[in-house]
Amino acid sequence: MASVPVYCLCRLPYDVTRFMIECDGCQDWFHGSCVGVEEEAAAEIDLYHCPQCAVLRGPSVMKRRRAPPKPAPGDADAGRPVRTGSAQFV
Ligand SMILES: [Zn+2]
Ligand SMILES: [Zn+2]
């Protein structure tokens, strides 16, 4: 029998019926149920780090769905502070 590639902490062959997530650190695949990541939650993950890689690289990086609006870099607040409602406006 040919050897079958195995994945995850449980070292099982790929199973299409089970949700899996790829670790961005070691490029191995992990069952969501084995690493505590649900399929819905995985949609929020930008870079996944498995438990082993999380030790070395830090926790998984989440996507930011609602990024705070960034102020335009540059002009207004560069250098001198401008106060709204000051006398120079009249
Ligand atoms: Zn597994
Ligand atoms: Zn990993």
Residue in 38, 2, 4 with CA at minimum distance from that of residue 21: 38
Domain count, the chain: 1
User: Mind listing the pLDDT tens digit for each residue in 20-35?
Assistant: 999 999 999 999 999 9
Answer yes or no: is 5 within a domain.
yes
The residue segments making up the domain with residue 57 are 1-61
Of 72 and 9, the one with more pLDDT: 9
pLDDT given for residue 87 in this prediction? 67
Residue from 89, 30, 76, 18 nearest 54 by CA: 30
Q: What is the pLDDT of residue 69?
A: 74
The 10s digit of each residue's pLDDT in 53-83 is 999 999 999 998 766 677 777 765 556 666 6
Residue 39 near residue 19 (C-beta atoms within 8 A): yes
In a domain, 72, yes or no: no
What is the amino acid identity at position 42?
A
User: What is the per-residue pLDDT for 79?
Assistant: 63
Give me ligand 2 centre to Cα 27, in Å: 6
Give me ligand 1 centre to Cα 47, in Å: 19
Report CA(12)–ligand 1 centroid distance (Å): 7
